[in-house]
């Protein structure tokens, strides 16, 4: 690993209109599952140490992972509490092999390489696949969940850098595209074209399927692919992989554009209980507004506006600004709880959920970090490059 100095982020942060520290604290308090720990760690990293995030200017100095002073990186101090350096996976996955992978980028920065190798082996060798080659999100039955794209491919991409294995980065890309091919709604001329279904489980009953267009699933997929795209763009061996970069860009932009069309072109009235939010299910008029998924999709727009400004321009950023403002009105001032959000346990519910979720808290932090970084890029003349 190369040397890389780390200090907590100290640049001026734009005011999001709420106390971001309360949002962070509440998210850590609510976290209880593997994917919540990994998502919280990523939110902490992007907010406090953006130079270590894949969205930083030079996340792979010398085309290697940076060497860090762990005690100065809040994200890693937090993540290491949940990572097991023994066993097949990085932590207990509650029936999923991919969810523990969300802790993988943290584990790699912590230099837990043997544990990360075992997690890669669990994904690539011990998890069911569909005939297409798509790796199951679940450990024992072949099921494709849009959530997978945020959990596993970014970890495989990071691991490719850590071990100088371009083949792992290629696997990460292929998994993103295989999931897209299976889950994407291809209905040209409709307001839902380009959006993804939530769950495809060929061997399961109808109760285990979710063919509807879950907002959070689409946001997971868009941001997961954006993280893989950032690795492709910033790691030396893959900077010339322009065909794969374009394929990921197309897939991400299709989701972003699909969400806008679903909100503006489906003929639905504004979402309740708070206008301006995207619906928990984008194709269901009766579905309630969801601050969590709206926040993560806004974050994906800001990240893509920097990664691919020729594809995500001012009009899309203005849409993200509107989503961000709507989300800002959903943060409870007394404790930072973000509501209403999707019910992460009973995700089929169309109604609002008022108890909050750890992932929703993390999504809001990611949104603020992405907005701050976009504004910094714009101030430095990024739009005119």
Confidence of residue 303 (pLDDT cuts 50, 70, 90): very high
Q: How many residues does the chain have?
A: 385
Distances in whole angstroms, Cα of residue 334 to Cα of each of 125, 338, 339: 47, 11, 13
In the predicted structure, residue 218 carries a pLDDT above the cut 90? yes
Residue 359 to residue 353: CA distance in whole angstroms: 13
| pLDDT tens digits along 364-379 | 999 999 999 999 999 9
Residue 161 to residue 52: CA distance in whole angstroms: 13
Tokens of 126: 């011990």
Mean pLDDT of 205-216: 90
**With 0-12 CB in 10 A as exposed, 13-18 as middle and 19+ as buried, what is 214?**
buried
Residue 138 to residue 22: CA distance in whole angstroms: 33
Put residue 104 in one of left, alpha, beta given phi > 0 → left and psi -120 to 50 → alpha: alpha
Residues 37 and 79 sit within 8 Å (Cβ to Cβ): yes
Residue 139 to residue 99: CA distance in whole angstroms: 10
**With 0-12 CB in 10 A as exposed, 13-18 as middle and 19+ as buried, what is 232?**
buried
Residue 139 to residue 157: CA distance in whole angstroms: 21
In the predicted structure, residue 8 carries a pLDDT above the cut 50? no
Contacts of 100 (CB under 8 A, 6+ apart): 34, 38, 89, 90, 91, 92, 93, 119
In the predicted structure, residue 263 carries a pLDDT above the cut 80? yes
Residue 289 to residue 379: CA distance in whole angstroms: 32
Q: What is the DSSP string of 173-225?
A: HHHHHHHHHHHB---TTSTTTT-B-SEE-TTS-GGG-B-S-BHHHHHHHHHHH
Confidence of residue 346 (pLDDT cuts 50, 70, 90): confident
Residue 353 pLDDT: 78
Beta bridge partners, 264, equal none
| pLDDT tens digits along 235-247 | 999 999 999 999 9
Residue 277 pLDDT: 97
Residue 103 pLDDT: 98
Residues 49 and 69 sit within 8 Å (Cβ to Cβ): no
Mean pLDDT of 326-347: 92
Confidence of residue 2 (pLDDT cuts 50, 70, 90): very low
Residue 177 to residue 285: CA distance in whole angstroms: 29
Residue 236 pLDDT: 98
The residue written with tokens 């999707």 in the block is 342
Beta bridge partners, 334, equal none
Residue 5 pLDDT: 34
In the predicted structure, residue 6 carries a pLDDT above the cut 50? no
Q: How many helices (H) and strands (E) does the chain have?
A: 12, 4
In the predicted structure, residue 384 carries a pLDDT above the cut 80? no
Residues 66 and 2 sit within 8 Å (Cβ to Cβ): yes
Q: Cβ atoms within 10 A of the Cβ of 77, count?
A: 14
Please give the model's pTM, rounded to 2 decimal places: 0.95
Mean pLDDT of 46-58: 98
Residue 345 to residue 36: CA distance in whole angstroms: 12
Residue 347 pLDDT: 66
Contacts of 325 (CB under 8 A, 6+ apart): 17, 276
């Amino acid at each position: 690993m190369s040397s890389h100095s780390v200090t907590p982020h100290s640049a001026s942060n734009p005011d999001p209109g709420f106390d971001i520290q309360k949002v962070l604290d509440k998210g850590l308090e609510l976290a209880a599952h593997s994917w919540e720990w990994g998502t919280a760690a990523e939110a902490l990293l992007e907010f406090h140490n953006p130079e270590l995030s894949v969205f930083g200017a030079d996340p792979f100095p010398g085309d290697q992972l940076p060497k860090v002073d762990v005690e100065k990186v809040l994200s890693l101090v937090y993540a290491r509490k949940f990572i097991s350096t023994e066993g097949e996976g990085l932590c207990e996955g509650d029936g999923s092999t991919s969810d523990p992978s969300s802790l993988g980028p943290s584990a790699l920065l912590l230099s837990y390489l043997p544990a990360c190798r075992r997690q890669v082996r669990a994904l690539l060798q011990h998890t069911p696949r569909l005939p297409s080659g798509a790796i199951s999100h679940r450990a024992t039955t072949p099921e494709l969940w849009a959530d997978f794209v945020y959990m596993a491919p970014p970890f495989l991409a990071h691991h490719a850098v850590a071990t100088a294995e371009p083949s792992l980065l290629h696997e990460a890309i292929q998994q993103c595209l295989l999931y897209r091919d299976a889950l994407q709604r291809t209905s040209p001329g409709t307001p839902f074209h380009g959006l993804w279904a939530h769950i495809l489980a060929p061997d399961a009953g109808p109760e285990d399927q979710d063919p509807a267009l879950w907002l959070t699933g689409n946001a997971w997929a868009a941001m997961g692919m954006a993280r893989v795209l950032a690795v492709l763009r910033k790691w030396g061996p893959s900077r010339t992989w322009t065909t794969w970069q374009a394929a990921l860009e197309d897939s991400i932009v299709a989701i972003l554009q699909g969400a806008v069309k679903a909100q503006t072109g489906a003929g639905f009235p504004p979402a309740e209980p708070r206008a301006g939010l995207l619906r928990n299910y984008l194709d269901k008029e009766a579905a309630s507004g969801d601050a969590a998924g709206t926040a993560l999709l806004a974050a994906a727009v800001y990240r893509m506006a920097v990664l691919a400004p020729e594809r995500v321009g001012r009009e899309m950023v203005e849409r993200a600004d509107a989503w961000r403002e709507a989300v800002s009105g959903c943060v409870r001032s007394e404790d930072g709880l973000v509501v209403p959000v999707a019910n992460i346990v009973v995700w089929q519910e169309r109604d609002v959920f008022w108890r909050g979720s750890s992932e929703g808290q993390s999504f809001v932090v990611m949104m603020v970090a992405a907005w701050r970084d976009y504004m910094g890029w714009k101030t430095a003349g990024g739009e005119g490059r």
